[in-house]
Amino acid sequence: MTIWGFLALAIHAQAIFVEDTGVSPSEIVTISVTNFYTGDVYAGINNLLVDGVAMQGFCIDPFHFSQSSPGYNFVPLADAPKEHLMGAAKAEEISKLWAMDYSPLMTAPQAAGLQIAIWEIVGGSDFSLVGGSDYGASVLLEEVAHYSGDGASLIALTGPGQDYCVPVPDSGTTLSFLAMTLLCLVSVRSFRKISPQPTLCVSAAPRNPSAASARNVRTSAARDPQRRER
């Protein structure tokens, strides 16, 4: 089938089911997002099931709580998060951060630093870290300004809950999965490199580690604020 055939399928493709299965490795940090949330969250790698395919990603949407839902779609990174589109420049910065620092074997402090740096980029003046360590996020942001390598190939998942950035899926995924990816790649504007920031992906995370495991709340996967435990 030609690329145009895939694109035709993509236009009529069903929405994608995204399940956030947890934030790990991660650290608990306190953040503030203007007119939305101030409190503890888990900052780290989001472990996702995307139409049943396991993927690692980062929250790029500090303006919404996490919500497993079938209503997600792939979009170019620059066209996310919803209601607060980052644009091509920030998308490229995130893709470079990912290429520079991401590893599937990264430690909790390293994962937290990358997530916080992504939040800083996406959230801008609406996002701030409230005390505590930034786990090297400020250093990453300084280093990425001088990074001359290629950025990672990333794509965004946007839907009813928080938005995520993930690596562009390979051809081993399902046909509709690939079709939607191709649609995003063909609509490339000036960005071939794409990237992330704050975790509104927040879920009120307690400072006490034992309490954290007892209360099913997580950083990049926050529940409805009306139901959040404090």
pLDDT of residue 173: 53
- Residue 226 inside a domain? The answer is no
Return the pLDDT at 169. 83
Cα–Cα distance, 101 to 203 (Å, whole number): 24
Please give the Cα distance from 53 to 17 (Å, whole number): 10
- Does any domain span residue 221? no
Domain assignment of residue 108, yes or no: yes
Percent of the chain residues topping a pLDDT of 90? 65
pLDDT beneath 50, residues of the chain: 1-12, 174-176, 180-182, 184-199, 203-230
Spell out the residues 6+ positions from residue 141 whose beta carbon is closer than 8 angstroms to its own.
Answer: 117, 120, 121
Reference 85, options 31, 122, 128, 126; nearest CA is 122
Per-residue pLDDT, 28: 97
Please check whether residue 132 lies inside any domain of the structure: yes
Domain enclosing residue 36, as ranges: 3-214
Q: Tally the domains of the chain.
A: 1
For residue 18, list its beta bridge partners: 50, 69
In a domain, 71, yes or no: yes
pLDDT, position 15: 86
Domain-located, residue 94? yes
Q: Is 225 within a domain? A: no
Distance of alpha carbon 176 from alpha carbon 204, whole angstroms: 35
227 lies in some domain: no
At 194 the pLDDT is: 27
Q: What is the pLDDT of residue 177?
A: 52
